[in-house]
């Protein structure tokens, strides 16, 4: 597992895509959150559900969820 590649490429690429999807769908919309769950699942699968990858995606999800709740 290339963790440097994951953190230097995969995570920033996902964040850019997330920003695009927010603009496309809106932040607090079902299509955006469906994309979030789907895309995070795809990344976890890509890295064979590596624990660090899964934890990172979970942390980002929790952060987004907090923002959606006004935090």
Domain residue extents for the chain: 3-68
Over residues 52-62, the mean pLDDT reads 98
Task: Quote the pLDDT of residue 71.
Answer: 72
| Range 5-32 average pLDDT | 97
d(CA 7, CA 21): 20
Mean pLDDT over 4-19 rounds to 97
Averaged pLDDT of the chain = 96
């Amino acid at each position: 597992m290339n963790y440097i590649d994951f953190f230097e490429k995969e995570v920033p690429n996902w964040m850019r895509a997330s920003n695009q999807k927010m603009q496309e769908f809106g932040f607090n919309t079902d299509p955006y959150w469906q994309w979030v769950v789907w895309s995070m699942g795809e990344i976890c699968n890509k890295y064979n559900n590596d624990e660090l990858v899964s934890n990172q995606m979970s942390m980002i999800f929790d952060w987004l969820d907090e923002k959606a709740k006004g935090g």
